[in-house]
């Protein structure tokens, strides 16, 4: 059809269209004189941008209080009380790791046994009063009660695991909830009672597993989810046995990221199908119950869990409580510890060494960058992995390079601090709307979306393309942009573009902290990084962002971006 239209217009007609388009573009250009720009007042400092009032403090906790090494107490402008409980699972026995997805999915979706910690709920049940294990609350009553008393709640392996994808901080099992402050004790009862009293009904377990398999099928029809899952799979460290994990841990004390492959859809599909096939047998249900009970017992152990067979180091859990300034945070902390003490199982650590030299984490949390370090038959550094899917109608692409710029907060002279700000700015400069990548990829119709992004926690720089009709040209267009930076830097990046990108990065940072949910999320992230207060993080961010100059952009381009086209990196594509 396009060729027929060209033939109809002829050379003269095409030339007329090109001239009309050129004149229209020239008529819409706005060239602001340099003297006018110079006369404009300087924008106010980002230090004075209004923010939601909040502050947090970190409190160390000794091992006598359970698996918790520290608590973060947040005072924020909020009408609700928020609670997060981070239970360490970095040392979870290998045979239990595949069960984590099913365990998190059954949380708050299963029948509950009513026991001491749930006394505040004053629930009347239809259970058997002669049952020595206590009354049982039907899963529908659980859902109704939690919806009545809580504003939100969830259980997950780490953060942002998107159910069967990559999880940040997958070394923790996180329970979280929020409620009106008057329901705080009821929230404790629901969250801890949901963990300790969860019962496993064959029909309910079967339903949850079938729902998970349905979710996997749905994910396979979503290209963005699949490219994320594939990227997670090929950049996750090999699974280590306990002795190797201890040797590998080094100064971090713990071998992190050991749960990622187990919660991946590539592992879970076959695992869930196998378990579902055995579910109808007596032995199958006993196997499921035993595995889930073992995870429950592990989470409720009275102390932190040692990493490595020698038991020299531990990974500590965390607690986060956020509430208005009118509330007594210390009292809420005490209430939680009392409730935890009532449910902790002091005899649940049968396989955990007792000799411990120190507790590691969670503030700052141990971190291992992701890199291609899996089975060489799957992908090799510098190699290309193609995954054909009949369920999608467009192509998705991701090219990943190592970019570990998340420097330790207690090392202020580390070059990573300035590099992180510079990489963030250059990513924004290249990916912004009507920017170089936008015009070269979406403007040409190669793909609907394309951007280069820094995944700082994972230590990755990723060029991603979504809903592409011609992914090869979308990738080639990105390479051409990088070649222009190599030979004609000013045509892509000038001082005005640098300042505009800097302003956008600052806007995103502050906008994420403009609502209470963002403040709470940012506070725990800041603590994981190692910041002792919100003020410290803000000073750190504004100082390093303002310090970036053109030479810094050229430095990070050479070090982190040029390997996309030079092949100098150990792994790419």
Q: What is the mean pLDDT of the chain?
A: 83
Contacts of 522 (CB under 8 A, 6+ apart): 512, 513, 534, 537
Question: For residues 419 and 378, what is the distance between their CA atoms, to the nearest angstrom?
Answer: 32
Q: Which two tokens stand for residue 167?
A: 């999880």
- 289-334 pLDDT tens trace: 999 999 999 998 855 554 444 444 567 899 999 999 899 999 999 9
Q: What mean pLDDT do residues 89-106 have?
A: 92
Question: For residues 403 and 18, what is the distance between their CA atoms, to the nearest angstrom?
Answer: 43
Which residue's structure tokens are 């170089």? 436
User: Binning pLDDT at 50, 70 and 90, where does residue 468 land?
Assistant: very high
pTM to 2 decimals?
0.83
Question: For residues 22 and 328, what is the distance between their CA atoms, to the nearest angstrom?
Answer: 67
User: Binning pLDDT at 50, 70 and 90, where does residue 453 land?
Assistant: very high
Is residue 573 pLDDT above 70, yes or no? no
Predicted confidence at residue 267, as pLDDT, reads 87
Judge contact between 35 and 504, C-beta under 8 A: no
Lowest mean pLDDT among 76-90, 264-278, 507-521, 558-572: 558-572
Q: Which domains does the chain have, with CATH numbers?
A: 55-360 (3.30.830.10), 393-566 (3.30.830.10)
Q: Which of 360, 356, 351 is nearest to 316 (CA)?
A: 360
Higher pLDDT, 382 or 367: 367
Is residue 452 pLDDT above 70, yes or no? yes
Q: Which of 307, 243, 223, 232 is nearest to 457 (CA)?
A: 232
Judge contact between 518 and 510, C-beta under 8 A: no
Predicted confidence at residue 77, as pLDDT, reads 86
Question: For residues 265 and 276, what is the distance between their CA atoms, to the nearest angstrom?
Answer: 16
What is the Cα gyration radius of the chain?
27
Is residue 346 pLDDT above 60, yes or no? no
- 233-267 pLDDT tens trace: 777 765 544 444 333 333 434 556 678 888 888 88
Phi, psi values for residue 258, rounded to 5°: -85, -10
Strand partners, 319: 71, 85
User: Binning pLDDT at 50, 70 and 90, where does residue 35 land?
Assistant: confident
Predicted confidence at residue 251, as pLDDT, reads 41
Predicted confidence at residue 265, as pLDDT, reads 86
User: Assign residue 97 a region: left if phi > 0, alpha if psi is -120 to 50, beta otherwise?
Assistant: alpha
User: Binning pLDDT at 50, 70 and 90, where does residue 152 land?
Assistant: very high
Predicted confidence at residue 87, as pLDDT, reads 93
- Three-class SS state of 184: helix
Is residue 354 pLDDT above 60, yes or no? no
Q: Count CB atoms within 10 A of the CB of residue 270.
A: 11
- Three-class SS state of 49: coil
Provide the percentage of residues in the chain whose pLDDT is more than 90. Answer: 47
Predicted confidence at residue 516, as pLDDT, reads 87
The separation between CA 192 and the C-alpha centre of its own chain, rounded to angstroms, equals 24
Judge contact between 244 and 258, C-beta under 8 A: no
Angle of helix 534-547 relative to helix 495-511, nearest 10 degrees, comes to 170
Predicted confidence at residue 91, as pLDDT, reads 84
């Amino acid at each position: 059809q396009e060729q027929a239209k060209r033939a109809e217009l002829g050379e003269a007609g095409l030339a007329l269209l090109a001239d009309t388009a050129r004149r229209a573009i020239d008529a819409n250009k706005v060239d602001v004189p340099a003297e006018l720009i110079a006369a404009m007042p300087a924008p106010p400092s980002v230090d004075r941008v209004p923010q939601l009032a909040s502050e947090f403090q970190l409190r160390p906790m000794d091992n006598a209080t359970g698996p918790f090494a520290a608590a973060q107490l947040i005072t924020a402008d909020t009408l609700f009380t928020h609670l997060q409980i981070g239970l360490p699972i970095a040392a979870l026995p290998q045979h239990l790791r595949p069960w984590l997805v099913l365990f998190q999915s059954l949380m708050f979706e299963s029948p509950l046994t009513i026991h001491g910690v749930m006394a505040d709920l004053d629930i009347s049940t239809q259970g058997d009063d002669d049952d020595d294990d206590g009354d049982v609350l039907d899963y529908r009553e659980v859902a109704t009660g939690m919806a009545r008393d809580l504003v939100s709640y969830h259980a997950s392996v780490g953060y942002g695991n998107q159910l069967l994808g990559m999880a940040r901080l997958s070394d923790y099992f996180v329970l979280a909830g929020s409620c009106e402050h008057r329901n705080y004790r009821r929230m404790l009862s629901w969250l801890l009672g949901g963990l300790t009293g969860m019962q496993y009904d064959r029909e309910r377990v079967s339903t949850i597993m079938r729902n998970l398999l349905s979710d996997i099928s749905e994910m396979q029809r979503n290209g963005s989810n699949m490219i994320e899952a594939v990227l997670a799979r090929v950049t996750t460290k090999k699974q280590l046995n306990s002795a190797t994990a201890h040797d590998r841990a080094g100064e971090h004390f713990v071998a992190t990221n050991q749960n990622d492959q187990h919660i991946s859809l590539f592992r879970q599909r076959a695992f869930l199908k196998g378990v579902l096939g055995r579910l109808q047998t007596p032995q199958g249900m006993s196997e499921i119950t035993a595995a889930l009970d073992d995870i429950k017992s592990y989470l409720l152990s009275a102390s932190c869990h040692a990493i490595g067979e020698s038991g020299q180091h531990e990974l500590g859990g965390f607690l986060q409580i956020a509430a208005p300034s009118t509330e007594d945070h210390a009292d809420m902390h005490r209430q939680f510890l009392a409730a935890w003490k009532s449910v902790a199982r002091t005899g649940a650590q049968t396989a955990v060494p007792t000799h411990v030299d120190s507790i590691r984490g969670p503030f700052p949390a141990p971190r291992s960058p992701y890199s291609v370090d899996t089975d060489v038959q799957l992908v090799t550094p510098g190699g290309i992995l193609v995954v054909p899917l009949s369920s999608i109608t467009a192509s998705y692409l991701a090219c990943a390079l190592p970019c570990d710029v998340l420097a330790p907060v207690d090392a202020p002279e580390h070059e990573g601090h300035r590099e992180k700000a510079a990489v963030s700015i250059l990513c924004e400069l290249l990916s912004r709307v009507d920017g170089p990548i936008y015009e070269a990829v979406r403007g040409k119709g190669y793909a609907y979306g394309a951007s280069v992004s820094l995944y700082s926690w994972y230590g990755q720089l990723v060029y991603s393309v979504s809903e592409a009709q011609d992914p090869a040209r979308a990738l080639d267009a990105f390479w051409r942009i990088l070649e222009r930076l190599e030979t004609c830097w000013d045509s892509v990046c000038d001082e005005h573009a640098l300042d505009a990108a800097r302003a956008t990065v600052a806007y995103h940072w502050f906008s994420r902290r403009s609502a209470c949910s963002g403040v709470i999320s940012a506070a725990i992230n800041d603590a994981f990084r190692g910041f002792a207060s919100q003020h410290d993080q803000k000073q750190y961010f504004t100082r390093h962002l303002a310090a970036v100059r053109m030479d810094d952009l050229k430095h990070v381009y050479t070090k982190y971006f040029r390997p996309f086209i030079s092949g100098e990196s150990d792994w790419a594509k």
